[in-house]
């Protein structure tokens, strides 16, 4: 067993260091045991995180039961659902890399022997996995989990129900009282909302990646099932330390492909593209847009989670969770990939009781769709690629020859949509919202929900160099690269230009002659930077493009 902590706390010359840590209440006996860092994202103002104090206590109990000494510290979660369609959303994606840095600094700065990650939040979880890859010490992750969908006005209430409801009130389809009822009933308990949000998608792909215990990626938040899983997670980290099983043993190219296939097959969030590229960079595994395109073409969609379908993530849990999806995918997944359970994926599929509930998890011979939920589009408007959740697009919108209406930020587009100032057959262009140009690459859930709520999702599309929430549905194409701030064609689009969208051919084209584009490029004047000081200024100066995971320099 490799105990790094002994170098920091054991021996006569480390007396002051022992005195200091004893000042926090630790004993000599505890310092003789392995010191296990427990990085928690508890905070008392986000439903995804508010229950994690209890979960952290359960993890620590498991560590102690297995002979270790847990040492808990807090990371943080900049809560995107509390920041949609606001300038504060610019801080959400940048927080991912700071979480990775924070965990690295705390673990290496205190000489811990192993690491347990308790993650809730769709930037926090990939940030923590980035840290796990970077540190490469025995590590295990536990996702904070979803909560069951709410019930209001006789219907299931998901995150998108509330947001779409704003436009439905303005159209006279529902009343303000019904919208208020949705708001009150969205969260029956703490946890992430019961949709394939980016956070829930990350919980699913982290388990398929092998970094979380089998079945833990979909457990209901704060349930007795999750508390017991937390104790087992704390116990299992001691086994990983004893056997020196490292993230590099688990997060292999084959494991990343497993994670991508599972996330595609459950109609997961487009944010998986950004984050798995970033985690791969830290692990030295090359993943790019083409990886998702290649795997998506022969990965069937087997589960239609909300907002693309009727099922919640807790329904998937009841149907056997990630192991059921792995079993249904069969030979499309690599069964030899290792996991933190000290079992291979194949052993988990064979030994774990799974439930192939045909109402939730379809079989390979009767899939929801022959292809994965996420498509990569390319063309003259997106030379390096763009991303769309095809499973959330109505069939009549898979092909479109539309007219561009250009907006320089999300707020202006939302105002126009809600003012009924958008004609049919319009392609709404929202630009200067990418990683560099935003800065921060905001999620455009406000704009897409306005589009759906106003009943325009059958006649209009939205195209942006920003990104989308997992709760997004409708014809929404994001991650257009190069972004406007890096000289991409999206920065040269003008009102009235013709845009060609064809999901079958995976094409996104701007029908403007090359000579005209060059003339526009010569006349182009970039907008003034929105942020001129502070962390976002540093982020805008340093961040990589979306095709490289929007990572900061390593």
- Residues carrying an active site annotation: 469
Cβ contact 388:476 at 8 Å: yes
For residue 509, list its beta bridge partners: 500
CA 288 to chain CA mean position, Å: 16
C-alpha 160/C-alpha 396 separation (Å) is 21
SS3 360: coil
Please give, one letter per residue, the 3-state secondary structure of 264-309: HHCCCCCHHHHHHHHHHHHHCCCCCHHHHHHHHHHCCECCCECCCC
The number of residues in the chain equals 554
SS3 540: helix
* Residue 414, H or E segment: helix 410-418
Cβ contact 479:386 at 8 Å: yes
SS3 173: coil
Q: What is the DSSP secondary structure assignment for residue 329, as one 8-state letter? A: H
Q: For the chain, how big is the Rg over CA atoms in Å?
A: 23
Packing angle, helices 224-243 and 52-65, rounded to 10: 40
Structure tokens at 189: 């308990």
**Residue 173 CB partners (closer than 8 Å, separation 6+):** none
Cβ contact 502:516 at 8 Å: no
CA 350 to chain CA mean position, Å: 28
The Cα-based distances of 197 to 209, 381, 514 in angstroms read 18, 27, 39
**Residue 172 CB partners (closer than 8 Å, separation 6+):** none
C-alpha 33/C-alpha 241 separation (Å) is 12
Range 18-31 burial, b when 16+ CB lie within 10 A, else e = beebeeeebeeebb
- Cα–Cα nearest to 451, from 484, 488, 477: 477
**Residue 220 CB partners (closer than 8 Å, separation 6+):** 145, 146, 147, 148, 189, 191, 226, 314, 317
- Cα–Cα nearest to 305, from 160, 502, 489: 160
C-alpha 533/C-alpha 522 separation (Å) is 29
C-alpha 114/C-alpha 95 separation (Å) is 23
């Amino acid at each position: 067993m490799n105990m790094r902590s002994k170098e920091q706390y054991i021996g006569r010359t480390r007396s002051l260091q022992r005195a200091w840590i004893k000042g926090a209440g630790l004993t000599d006996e505890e310092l003789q045991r392995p010191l296990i860092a427990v990085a928690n994202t508890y905070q008392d103002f986000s439903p995804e995180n508010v229950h994690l104090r209890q979960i952290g206590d359960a993890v620590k109990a498991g560590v102690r039961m297995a002979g270790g000494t847990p040492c808990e510290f807090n990371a943080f979660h900049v809560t995107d659902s509390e920041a949609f369609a606001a300038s504060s959303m610019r801080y959400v994606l940048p927080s991912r890399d700071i979480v990775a840095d924070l965990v690295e600094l705390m673990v290496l700065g205190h000489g811990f022997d192993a690491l347990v990650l308790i993650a809730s939040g769709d930037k926090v979880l990939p940030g923590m996995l980035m840290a796990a890859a970077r540190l490469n010490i025995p590590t295990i992750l536990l996702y904070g989990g979803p909560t069951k969908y709410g019930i209001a006005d006789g219907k299931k209430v998901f995150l998108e129900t509330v947001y779409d409801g704003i436009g439905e009130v303005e159209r006279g389809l529902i009343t303000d009282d019904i919208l208020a009822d949705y708001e009150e009933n969205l969260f029956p308990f703490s946890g992430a909302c019961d949709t394939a949000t980016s956070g829930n998608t990350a919980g699913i792909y982290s388990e398929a990646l092998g970094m979380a215990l089998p079945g833990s990626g979909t457990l209901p938040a704060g349930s007795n099932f999750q508390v017991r899983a937390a104790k087992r997670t704390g116990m299992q980290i001691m086994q990983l330390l004893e056997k020196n099983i490292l993230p590099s043993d688990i997060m292999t190219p084959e494991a990343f492909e497993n994670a991508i296939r599972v996330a595609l097959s459950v109609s997961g969030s487009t944010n998986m593209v950004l984050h798995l590229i970033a985690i791969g960079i830290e692990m030295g595994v090359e993943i790019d847009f083409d990886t998702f395109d290649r795997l998506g073409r022969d990965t069937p969609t087997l589960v239609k989670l909300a907002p693309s379908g009727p099922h919640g993530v807790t329904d998937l849990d009841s149907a056997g969770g990630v192991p059921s999806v792995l079993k249904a995918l069969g030979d499309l997944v690599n069964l030899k990939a290792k996991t933190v359970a000290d079992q291979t994926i194949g052993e988990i599929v064979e030994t774990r009781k799974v439930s192939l509930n045909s109402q939730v998890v379809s079989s390979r011979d009767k899939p929801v769709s022959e292809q994965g939920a996420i498509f990569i589009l390319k063309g003259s408007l997106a030379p390096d690629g763009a991303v769309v959740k095809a499973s959330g697009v109505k069939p009549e919108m898979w092909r479109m020859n539309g007219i561009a209406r250009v907006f320089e930020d999300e707020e202006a587009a939302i105002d126009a949509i809600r003012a009924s100032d958008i004609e049919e057959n319009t392609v709404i262009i929202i630009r200067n919202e990418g990683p560099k140009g935003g800065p921060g690459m905001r999620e455009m859930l406000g704009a897409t929900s306005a589009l759906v709520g106003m009943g325009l999702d059958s006649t209009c599309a939205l195209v942006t160099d920003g990104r989308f929430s997992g709760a997004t549905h409708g014809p929404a194409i994001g991650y257009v690269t190069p972004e406007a701030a890096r000289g991409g064609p999206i920065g040269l689009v003008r009102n009235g230009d013709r845009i060609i969208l064809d999901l079958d051919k995976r094409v996104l084209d701007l029908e403007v002659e090359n000579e005209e584009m060059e003339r526009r490029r010569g006349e182009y004047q970039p907008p003034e930077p929105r942020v001129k000081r502070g962390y976002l200024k540093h982020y805008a100066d340093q961040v990589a493009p979306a095709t490289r995971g929007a990572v900061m320099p390593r």
